[in-house]
Each structure stands twice: as structure tokens, then as C-alpha cells.
């Protein structure tokens, strides 16, 4: 009997110890902005609804206070409670006196550096005049400057003949482990700008949960319409939190001119600004450029627009001479070069000037 009573007491103590409010926060995602501090999750496993005061305190790497937020009389239902930025409207916000605090108060964003985010919930006691129960958790994060999400292809105001183009973009850095993308492509009507088109027109492509920074034209989507202008934009998010959006670019399906073909005896001149055309390279890519300085090794790369993060490997070594250079690259035996894919050739001469050529590879 004594052993049973002891077991029962230990079981009650264990259950009470597990009955608590767990505070979850992702500083790498939500810790970038002042509004993001409200994106906290409170998991109530106490067995009953609660009400209390939530205090959010942020300090920088030196320990100086950056901001303090007090959310009074916050209801905490049993189970998972996901808060949002609306709770800040009725909260008391006090900024510190550090440079980080000044930047936050002016821009609403945390500057680069180390931060500690602490959350404290003082849950009211069920008994009048009782002592509140305190639940707290702290999180550390080093914030780094974020590079923008940049569109790559189709480039802005491009005229392309492919009615089923692939899309590619450069992800924001640093990368988040669970980052996903949404891509939206919509037609732009006459007398309409790109922003209105994405906001009001029915999109031809609206795909979320894209895991890579490119999208092969979906099989189930009809071909784009010739002579139609389209707007497109990519959004990066993690979970339900939007991280950043790209600019809005436009392109037109225009096939009035045929795609120039690289003849066996012709060399396409490289230019600083990319040509709007894609040139067909049947087996061999022939290009020319003028080198105004001394001879040396040519620095170049080829990028597959359907997978821009993976460079084309095993390219032959090329030397350039002073004056006019005519280069013929045999691509037939390169496993990374695929028939029908679109590529960009990027060449750097000795003055580090970047010259480009867009081409479509075709097997002989």
C-alpha cells in the first residue's frame, strides 16, 4: 500500500511538472524586425485557460537594452497559441539608449549584430491575490545583413520566343534551412502596369512551396500566349512568415524574328550588355571578342539557366591573345550541357570586364 501511495505521489508531481506554458520563437526568421517579435508561439499544457502579462526584452551583444515590450492581460487558451503583430498595438514599448535601439526605433529593423530575445509570461493565479506563475525562455541570434532576392531569367523587359520558359532567381542570403518560394506569373493587360497585373489579374502560374531557386515550366500549365506581356515575382518565406520579395519583372512572348543560328564559319561577338536573343549553338559555341591588353588565360563560365546554382563543369582551358580572339568551344562531350537548354556564357578579359552571350545548345 505504501509503495502504491508513493507511486501515486510521484505521478502527480511528474504531471504537474509537465503542466506548463512553453514559449517558442525563431529569432533567425522573426528576430529581424520589431513587428517580428510578436510572432511567438505559446503552448499551454496546464489543463486550463490562462491569462497573464507577456514581457518581451531584447538586449544586444554588450548586454545593453534595445527594446522592452509589455503586453498586458494576454489570454492563453489551452493548447497552441500563435500570436501576431496585432498584439503590439495595445502594448507598452520602450526603447533603450544603445545605437541598436536608435536604429530599431527609426527603421523598425534590427541592425547587424548579436542579440538576446527573452520572453516572460506572468500567468495570473486562479486564486484571488495569488502569486502569478512565471514562464520564461530566452533565445540568442547573430543577425547578418540579408542580400535581396533577385530575379535572373527571364530578365526584365525581355522578348523571348519560348512559350514555356523556365524561371530562375538568386536566393536571399544567408539562407534559411526551411526556406520556400512562391512564384506568381500573370498577364499584363493594355494600359496596366506590372503591379496592378499581379494584384488583379488571374495568374497563369501561382505555385508555392518551391524548394529550389528555379522552376521548370509546369507540365499542367498551358503555353503562354504569343505577343502577350507577362509580369512575374518571387516571394521567399519560412513557415507562415514572409521573409522577402523580389522586384516585379516583365517579359513578352515575341517571335517576330527567328533565333539566329551559329553557322560553322561565324563567330558571335560578345558584348557587355546581354543580347536579347538566344543564339543556337549546334555542337560548338563560337564567339569572338577583342582583347586590348596582353595575352593570358581566359576566365569564363557557362551557366545553365534552368539550374543556375550548379556551374557547368569540365570546360576546356582557353588562352587569349592580344587583339581579336575567335574561340570555338566544343561542347558535344560535356555531360552538363543538355540539348535544348538555355545558357549564358560569361567571359572576363584581363581588364575584368564581363562579356556575355545567351545561347541554346543543340546536338548536331
State how far the Cα of 232 lies from the Cα of 245, in Å rounded to an integer: 11
pLDDT mean over 328-356 = 83
Range name among 44-53, 68-77, 287-296 with the lowest pLDDT average: 287-296
Those residues with Cβ within 8 angstroms of residue 356's Cβ, 6 or more apart along the chain or in another chain:
270, 271, 272, 273, 274, 275, 344, 345, 346, 347
The two domains 34-143 and 150-253 share their CATH topology (first three levels equal): yes
User: By the 8 A CB rule, do 56 and 121 touch?
Assistant: no
The pLDDT of residue 207: 95
H/E stretch holding 6: helix 2-18
Q: Domain 268-362, what fold?
A: Immunoglobulin-like (2.60.40)
Provide the grid cell at 59: 538586449
The mean pLDDT of 322-351, rounded to a whole number, is: 84
Q: Is 18 exposed, middle or buried (0-12, 13-18, 19+ CB in 10 A)?
A: exposed
Percentage of the chain lying above the pLDDT 90 cut: 34
pLDDT, tens digit, 9 for 90 and up, residues 220-240? 999 999 999 999 999 988 777
**Cα 133 to Cα 24: distance, rounded to the nearest angstrom:** 18
Supply φ then ψ for residue 123, to 5 degrees. Answer: -80, 130
Residue with cell 555542337: 283
pLDDT surpasses 50 at 11 = no
pLDDT in tens, 120-131: 999 987 677 678
- Whether pTM > 0.75 for this model: the answer is no
The DSSP result for 233-291, as a single string, is: EEEEEETTEEEEEPPPEEEEE--SSPPPB--TT--EEPBSSPPSS-EEEESEEEEEEEE
CA–CA separation, 163 vs 190, rounded Å?
20
Class for the domain spanning 34-143? mainly beta
Domain ranges of the chain: 34-143, 150-253, 268-362
Q: Which CATH class is domain 150-253?
A: mainly beta
**pLDDT of 351 above 70:** no
DSSP notation for 31-92:
TTBTGGGG--EEEE-SSS-EEEEEEEEEEETTS-EEEEEEEEEEEE-SEEEE--GGGGGGSE
Amino acid at each position: 500500500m505504501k509503495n502504491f501511495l508513493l507511486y501515486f505521489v510521484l505521478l502527480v508531481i511528474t504531471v504537474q511538472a509537465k503542466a506548463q506554458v512553453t514559449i517558442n520563437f525563431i529569432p533567425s526568421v522573426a528576430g529581424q524586425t520589431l513587428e517580428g517579435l510578436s510572432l511567438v508561439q505559446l503552448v499551454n499544457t496546464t489543463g486550463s485557460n490562462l491569462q497573464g502579462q507577456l514581457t518581451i526584452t531584447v538586449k544586444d551583444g554588450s548586454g545593453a537594452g534595445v527594446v522592452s515590450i509589455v503586453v498586458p492581460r494576454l489570454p492563453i487558451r489551452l493548447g497552441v497559441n500563435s500570436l501576431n503583430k496585432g498584439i503590439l498595438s495595445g502594448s507598452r514599448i520602450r526603447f533603450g539608449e544603445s545605437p541598436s535601439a536608435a536604429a530599431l526605433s527609426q527603421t523598425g529593423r534590427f541592425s547587424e549584430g548579436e542579440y538576446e530575445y527573452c520572453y516572460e509570461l506572468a500567468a495570473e493565479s486562479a486564486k484571488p491575490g495569488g502569486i502569478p506563475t512565471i514562464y520564461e525562455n530566452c533565445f540568442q541570434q547573430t543577425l547578418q545583413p540579408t542580400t535581396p532576392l533577385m530575379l535572373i531569367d527571364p530578365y526584365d523587359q525581355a522578348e523571348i520566343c519560348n512559350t514555356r520558359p523556365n524561371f530562375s532567381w538568386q536566393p536571399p542570403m544567408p539562407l534559411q534551412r526551411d526556406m520556400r518560394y512562391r512564384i506568381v506569373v500573370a498577364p499584363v493587360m493594355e494600359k496596366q502596369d506590372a503591379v496592378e497585373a499581379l494584384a488583379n489579374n488571374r495568374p497563369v502560374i501561382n505555385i508555392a512551396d518551391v524548394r529550389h531557386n528555379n522552376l521548370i515550366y509546369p507540365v499542367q500549365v498551358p503555353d503562354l500566349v504569343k505577343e502577350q506581356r507577362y509580369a512575374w515575382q518571387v516571394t521567399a518565406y519560412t513557415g507562415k512568415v514572409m521573409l522577402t520579395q523580389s522586384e516585379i519583372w516583365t517579359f513578352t512572348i515575341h517571335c517576330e524574328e527567328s533565333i539566329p543560328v551559329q553557322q560553322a564559319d561565324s563567330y558571335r561577338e560578345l558584348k557587355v550588355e546581354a543580347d536579347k536573343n538566344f543564339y543556337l549553338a549546334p555542337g560548338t559555341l563560337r564567339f569572338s571578342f577583342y582583347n586590348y591588353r596582353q595575352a593570358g588565360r581566359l576566365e569564363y563560365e557557362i551557366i545553365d539557366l534552368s539550374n543556375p546554382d550548379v556551374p557547368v563543369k569540365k570546360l576546356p582551358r582557353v588562352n587569349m591573345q592580344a587583339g581579336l580572339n575567335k574561340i570555338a568551344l566544343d561542347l558535344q562531350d560535356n555531360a552538363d550541357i543538355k540539348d535544348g537548354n538555355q545558357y549564358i556564357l560569361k567571359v572576363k578579359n584581363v581588364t575584368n570586364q564581363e562579356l556575355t552571350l545567351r545561347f541554346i545548345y543543340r546536338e548536331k
